[in-house]
Amino acid sequence: MLNGRTQRLALLAMTLFAVIITLFAGPALAQVRATNRLIIKHDYGGSIGQRQHELRSLRRERKRVEIHGTCNSACTMYLGLPTVCVSPSASFGFHGPKGVNGPLPPDAFEHWSRVMSQGLPPSLERWFMQQARYVRSGFLRISGKQLINMGYARC
């Protein structure tokens, strides 16, 4: 048990610590938020549902997503984020949604195609819905340079 003088000194120390943190750490904390980003170098895809969940979090956090390397399959869903930028040397591989055990039923194919194209600029969404989503093996490729020419921010 602390005596009265020790308690007052501890309280004073905590108060001074709080003031120091407020004065000096504020800019440092702002810098951490400013550099709050996700950097993609080699992402070969994965589950559309899991990626959709991740995108919701990234939107909520307003986290910047920088794509610098290979981005295939479900990774291309990052292109629907307002905070994404692409490197000219990045490579994007598009294909349509697939089931674990083969082709999806038509209604599921339509649903997941729309999920994959959500947030894309109209011209890219149109291209995806008319062509890329029908690719069953391999990819249709677009370079980061092509996407920058379509209006995406350059990293």
DSSP 137: S
Are 25 and 51 members of one domain? no
If asked whether residues 21 and 65 sit together in one domain, one would say no
What is the total count of domains within the chain?
2
For residues 130 and 118, give the distance between their C-alpha atoms in angstroms, rounded to a whole number: 14
CATH number at 110 reads 3.90.226.10
Q: Are residues 26 and 95 in the same domain?
A: no
**Quick one: 128 and 150 in the same domain?**
yes
Mark whether 90 and 116 lie in a shared domain: yes
Whether 12 and 76 share a structural domain: no
**Same-domain pairing of 83 and 150:** yes
Give the span between the Cα atoms of 135 and 92, in whole angstroms.
14
Dihedral sign (CA 76, 77, 80, 83):
negative
Q: Is the pTM above the cut of 0.85? A: no
Same domain, 73 and 141: yes
Nearest to 155 by CA among 86, 64, 75: 86
List per-residue pLDDT tens for the chain, 155 residues long.
445 544 444 433 333 333 333 333 332 222 233 368 899 999 999 999 999 999 999 999 999 999 999 999 999 999 999 999 999 999 999 999 988 888 899 999 999 999 999 999 999 999 999 999 999 889 999 999 999 999 999 99
Identify whether residues 12 and 29 lie together within a single domain: yes
In which domain, by residue range, is 125 found?
A: 37-154
3-class state of residue 45 by DSSP = coil
